[in-house]
Amino acid sequence: MVDLKTTSRLSELDWLRVILIFAVFLHHVCMPFNGDGWHIMNDESSKVLDDIMVYFEQVRLPTLFFISGVGTIIVLSKVSNGQYIKHRVLRLLVPLIVGILFIVPPQNYIEQITELGSFWQAYPALALDFDSNHLWFIEYLILFAVLAIPLTSCITSTAGRRLTDIIERISQAPSGLFSLVTGLIVIRVGLKMMSTHEGDMLDSLSTSLFYLYLFCCGLLFVTSTTIWQSIADNRRRNLLWLAISSALFYGYYYSPDLSEYLSITTRWAIWWLVCCLVTWSSLLTLLGYGQRYFTTTPNWLKLSNELIYPFYILHQTVIVILGYFIIAWSLSIWLKVILLLVLSFTITGSICLFLIYPLSSLRVLFGLKPIKKVNIR
């Protein structure tokens, strides 16, 4: 069992966390140009862009939920439950409230700008909508943070150790850990097929349990050196599974109309199945190669890991505001993408580095630890 109390950090997760949040940022930069109907939309759209983005939607957030599970059990192993709750309130709940009240309203205003008056007139109503928008990820983490206390107790119990032992034995088979995708498929496909329409309770439960499964895997896998090492040892095999899963994903994505042969329910079941295969195989592949090549955390990466959280909170609002003006310019679609990417990254990064990072009051509001004061005698 991994000694979580002495584990300061896992370098592979430091790298992956920054890479994946940047991928989320890149996804939102491209949203105005993929024809999918977002807060702001360019007149011209790119089908190629949309075809690429739909694939990476299966990779980014699921892996981040797994990483959050790992980080959660590491924190829980070092502090009391009371300290853990205080930590999560400061880390998650406070930034969520700040985001809902001050960060989300400007992008909702831009979306409805032709129907509203000035921003300051519209602001009270926008703020009182309590719309979390892209911060739904934090809402999920708050829920999972509460569940993590009993879940961790279960994992460290006798029954939990038996479950870990079973997964350790499974992990020793060449594709053993990949077989655990069946749990993901049962949750995702089973509940999706039981729901009557998008957005109903079962559909939401499918999404919640899908991410909770990944979060729980993060909680459990990191407690076992056997499982963690197996992920690294089988990285090439998992890469092969990722290649196969990706081929199935795009093979079905580009398949001709099958409505004559398969019901809509069956077609959706196949879609969620191939999505699960990509999600799980990409998770194992990223973790495996991360362990192999991301073995150190340089100082710039430590800083990036600290700033990546306020960057996530702020980035979409900056993108929407800048994008509103950029899409009106007479430029090619790809030049607009590049301009939006460079400008939004520069502005968001500068706010995080030069405004939030050095000020303790803002650090607390955006989920960072306050700057420690040095006593000089």
Domain boundary among 242, 276, 297: 297
Same domain assignment for residues 64 and 106: yes
* CA separation for the pair 253, 248 (Å, rounded): 8
Same domain assignment for residues 180 and 265: yes
Q: State the pTM of this model.
A: 0.95
Domain boundary among 269, 297, 325: 297
Same domain assignment for residues 187 and 72: no
Same domain assignment for residues 89 and 170: no
Same domain assignment for residues 6 and 140: yes
Q: Measured on CA atoms in the order 73, 79, 81, 87, is the torsion positive or negative?
A: negative
Same domain assignment for residues 67 and 142: yes
Q: Please state the φ and ψ torsions of residue 131, each to the nearest 5 degrees.
A: -85, 125
* CA separation for the pair 248, 27 (Å, rounded): 23
**pLDDT tens over the chain, length 377 residues:** 455 655 657 999 999 999 999 999 999 999 999 998 999 999 999 999 999 999 999 999 999 999 999 999 999 999 999 999 999 999 999 999 999 999 999 999 999 999 998 999 999 999 999 999 999 999 999 999 999 999 999 999 999 999 999 999 999 999 999 999 999 999 999 988 887 555 555 568 899 999 999 999 999 999 999 999 999 999 999 999 999 999 999 999 999 999 999 999 999 999 999 999 999 999 999 999 999 999 999 999 999 999 999 999 999 999 999 999 999 999 999 999 999 999 999 999 999 999 999 999 999 999 999 987 544 44
Residue 375 lies in a domain: no
pLDDT at 194: 82
pLDDT at 192: 84
Same domain assignment for residues 132 and 168: no
Residue 95 lies in a domain: yes
Rg, Å, the chain Cα set? 22
Same domain assignment for residues 245 and 344: no
Same domain assignment for residues 210 and 293: yes
Q: Please state the φ and ψ torsions of residue 327, each to the nearest 5 degrees.
A: -65, -15
The CA-atom distances, in angstroms, between 356 and each of 110, 317, 324, 351, 359 are 24, 16, 25, 6, 6
- Provide the domain count of the chain: 2
Domain boundary among 233, 265, 297: 297
Q: What is the DSSP letter of 39?
A: S
The CA-atom distances, in angstroms, between 183 and each of 33, 55, 108, 159, 277 are 35, 21, 37, 19, 11
Residue 88 lies in a domain: yes
Same domain assignment for residues 193 and 240: yes
The CA-atom distances, in angstroms, between 167 and each of 2, 163, 228 are 15, 6, 11
Residue 377 lies in a domain: no
Range of the domain at 14: 1-151+302-369
Same domain assignment for residues 144 and 3: yes
Q: What angle, 0 to 180 degrees and rounded to 10, lies between the N-to-C axes of helices 136-156 and 201-221?
A: 50
Q: What is the dihedral of CA 295, 278, 61, 184, to 10 degrees?
A: -110
